[in-house]
Amino acid sequence: INFPTLQPEQTLGKVIEYFQTKDVEAIGIGMFGPIDVNVSSQTYGYVTSTPKPGWSNTDVLGILRHAFNIPFGWDTDVNAAALGESKWGAAKGLDSCVYITVGTGIGFGIIVENTLVHGLTHPEGGHVFTRRHPEDAYPGYCVFHKDCLEGMASGPAIEKRWGTKCNELQEDHPAWRLESFYLAQAILNAILLLSPKKIILGGGVMNQRQLFPLIHCEVEKHLNQYIKAELLLKRMEDCIVLPGLGDISGLYGALALGLDARNA
Ligand code: ZN
């Protein structure tokens, strides 16, 4: 079931209404971020500094816990997607993967040694800085950093740069080469920093399937055979892949978070 993301009270009200009619033992939440995932923090379970209107500093977990006295799992939507893919999808059986969603925003979910990566908060790979294409004069869309990855390569950035909706841009439009130029850099950084066994690209923009060969090619070019792993040297198309669970990796991941919470 889908609800539009309206104001927090309305949206969470609908979630509560829905689950009140079900017999639930635990709930797993994969939440759009940034969120507080530090269990010892006073604001654990909050959405923190999101540009989404009305959602900054919302105690999402608190509101839901007030309604249901059951265990809750809580993580970012992208970490949930990475978890779903590692349990049942494209990274099944692997102990590491990076899930990148490219849509209205860009987010990174990361699993290293079978563990979802958290730290001070959680990874924010969507806002890494990439080298600007010399012919790209678009100033960038991110309200915090202007020309970070999300500012240059998210769906809204593409649409504002070209003045056209993503799905109305032809398959051979120069937009996609430029998009692969930026995404490949972030993927390259993820490979160099995290050494993941699989990189999964989801989100609305990645429905442009022509991006995959462009990205493979671009990553290969920049790696320049530096990393001596067969997957990167010979099977790039098996390393950087579509989600195995379509557009519901996050939903599966939330299920896994709920199961973990119940069994904790
Ligand atoms: Zn940014």
Question: Which residues does residue 28 pair with via DSSP β-bridges, in sequence order?
Answer: 73
In tens digits, the chain (264 residues) has pLDDT values of 898 999 999 999 999 999 999 999 999 999 998 999 999 999 999 999 887 889 999 999 999 999 999 999 999 999 999 999 999 999 999 999 999 999 999 999 999 999 999 999 999 999 999 999 999 999 999 999 999 999 999 999 999 999 999 999 999 999 999 999 999 999 999 999 999 999 999 999 999 999 999 999 999 999 999 999 999 999 999 999 999 999 999 999 999 999 999 999
DSSP state of 89: S
Residue 74 CA to ligand 1 center (angstroms) comes to 23
Q: How far is the CA of 50 from the centre of ligand 1 (A)?
A: 11
> Which residues crowd ion ligand 1, with CB under 5 Å?
127, 142, 144-145, 148, 150
DSSP string, 106-166: EEEEEEETTEE--SSS---GGG-B-PPPTT------BTTTBSBHHHHHSHHHHHHHHTS-G
Predicted TM-score of the model (pTM): 0.95
From CA 216, how far away is CA 233, in angstroms rounded?
Answer: 11
How far apart, in whole angstroms, are the C-alpha atoms of residue 147 and residue 153? 9
Instruction: Output the CA 114–ligand 1 centroid distance in Å.
Output: 28
Q: Residue 49's pLDDT is what?
A: 87
H or E element that contains 59: none
- 3-class secondary structure, 12: helix
d(CA 200, CA 41): 31
Distance of CA 229 from the midpoint of ligand 1 (Å): 31
